[in-house]
Structure 1
Amino acid sequence: MTQVLLVEDDERISQPLLHMLGREGWAPLHAADGATALAVLAGTSPSLVLLDLSLPDVDGLDLCATIRRDHPTLPIVMLTARAQEVDVVVGLGAGADDYVTKPFRVAELVARIRARLRAADAAEAAAGGTTAAATATPGDGLRVDADARRAWLDGEELALTPKEFDLLAYLAARPGVALRREQIMSDVWDEHWWGSTRTLDTHVAALRRKLGDSGDPARFITTVRGVGLRFEGA
């Protein structure tokens, strides 16, 4: 059975969520603080972590970064009351794959968990197969290795979250093509995604920052007005 680790100290939130996880057919694990969460992860192998940012013993972003460092492919969904754009960007930069802002609808949270689990399964299946042209050199000092899930810029390896790498690899494989935002969300996130494309915006912002891509014109990722994005590193 798929295990989901909930890291949440507020029982008013954790108890209904644990019940929801069980009702949806997942095996819920619970940690009320960061130390317990790390201990649980050391002894079990959950398929996903639901991580609240407000914990009693550690900053949730620091814990997120630690989990991402020790478990590079483990999906992490943040639960946060920090709705400001800068908080979302910082959170995704710490290694989270997605976020849900409190208060949230249970149906939305379930949909995001299912999407992250499907994406993880697809990535694992793809890693077990043979990929043609796995190493791409889009140009302008950038190299992307899809098999190893590593990328380098000007010879220096980039520290990317799993979803940032997915997005970079997707764009780099399609240089010069204007890609619709909805198509990117469908291909990189999940074909059943719904809602706004704000998640894409935050990931693009984080990716641009790591690529040093803030100039005008952009070195790699260009916004195509009214359409979406185009990768320029050809």
Structure 2
Amino acid sequence: MSYNILIIEDEENIARVLQLELEFEGYQVDIAYTGTSGLIKYREGSFDLILLDLMLPEMHGLDVLKRIRATEQATPVILLTAKSEVEDKVKGLDLGANDYVTKPFEIDELLARIRNFIRFAKSQSAVLPLADNDTHLLSYGQLSIHEQTREVLYFEESIDLTPREYDLLLYLLKHPKQVLTREQILEAVWGFDYFGDTNVVDVYIRYLRQKLGSVNSTAIIKTVRGVGYALKESTHET
């Protein structure tokens, strides 16, 4: 099966190199050189992954990302960034980007990330049940997630999560009371080919705790020292 990738990149040399490499790997590739044309191509086409530059003419990459995520959360988006764009990287991840690579990047690393995100996205869509919507509802204690709508409720209050925070919480919820190592979480949520540090798990656990804690101060995500994390109802643990 051939997968479709949209490249939104204003530097024609970079876009062309990416196109050649991706087509050599068997992907179908479309290119847009401005933010506006990229958004139009996204809306008119069907893509399995998007490579999105941040510094684009006509419309900034973050604005393109906002509009994509206002439509849907499923299509993986990898940001192409410059080393100096640290603040934009953070904003991009908060807005729902799945990952970023910094220019100049190693093409083999980028290809590995692309394979990983497409594989993960397809595996997620493949396991969705076809029965009544109630089969999508997962609950533990006062926490519930509806997989089809991606709605998260904690003590009956809606929690607004980024896509990565949602995936992390969903994974914890699917394994209640089970102690999960950082390596297990990385492989399940970020993917087997993730190249970053395991500290990213700690960062996103902190994000989740802050958002859940704004509704109820009871800590439902427990730290198991020296091992990892577990989703457990309130006990005397810390």
Compute the TM-score of the two structures, normalised by the length of structure 2.
0.82
**Structure 2 segments unaligned to the other structure (5+ residues):** none
Equivalences, count: 232
2:181 is aligned with 1:180? yes
Q: Which of 160-169 and 200-209 deviates more? A: 200-209
- The residue type paired with residue 165 of structure 1 is Y
Q: Deviations over 1:60-101 (max 9, x none)?
A: 222212111113211111112257876544321101112222
2:145 is aligned with 1:137? no
Q: 2:198 corresponds to which residue?
A: 197
**Structure 1 segments unaligned to the other structure (5+ residues):** none
- The residue type paired with residue 170 of structure 2 is A
Q: 2:36 corresponds to which residue?
A: 35
The 3 A distance-change label for structure 1 pair 28 and 205 is farther
In the alignment, is the contact (CA less than 8 A) between 2:178 and 2:230 conserved in 1? Answer: yes
Q: Which of 61-70 and 218-227 deviates more? A: 218-227
> In 1, distance between residues paired with 2:109 and 2:26?
16
The 3 A distance-change label for structure 1 pair 101 and 59 is same
Percentage identity across paired residues of the two chains: 38
> In 1, distance between residues paired with 2:201 and 2:81?
18
In the alignment, is the contact (CA less than 8 A) between 2:155 and 2:215 conserved in 1? Answer: no
Q: 2:111 corresponds to which residue?
A: 110
Q: 1:149 corresponds to which residue?
A: 150
- The residue type paired with residue 175 of structure 1 is P
Once the two structures are superposed, the pairs formed by residues 21-170 of structure 1 within 5 Å of their partners are 21-82=22-83, 87-128=88-129, 134-139=136-141, 141-170=142-171
The 3 A distance-change label for structure 1 pair 224 and 60 is farther
Compute the TM-score of the two structures, normalised by the length of structure 1.
0.83
Q: 1:117 Cα deviation (Å)?
A: 0.4
Q: 1:138 Cα deviation (Å)?
A: 2.3
Q: 1:214 Cα deviation (Å)?
A: 11
> In 2, distance between residues paired with 1:32 and 1:228?
43
- The residue type paired with residue 226 of structure 1 is G
Secondary structure, counterpart of 1:93 in structure 2: helix
Once the two structures are superposed, the pairs formed by residues 193-232 of structure 1 within 5 Å of their partners are 193-197=194-198, 199-212=200-213, 219-232=219-232
Q: Deviations over 1:26-69 (max 9, x none)?
A: 11111112110111012111111111122122332222121111
Q: 1:127 Cα deviation (Å)?
A: 1.2
The 3 A distance-change label for structure 1 pair 26 and 231 is same
Q: Which of 45-54 and 221-230 deviates more? A: 221-230
Q: Deviations over 1:143-162 (max 9, x none)?
A: 21234432123433333344
> In 1, distance between residues paired with 2:197 and 2:84?
14
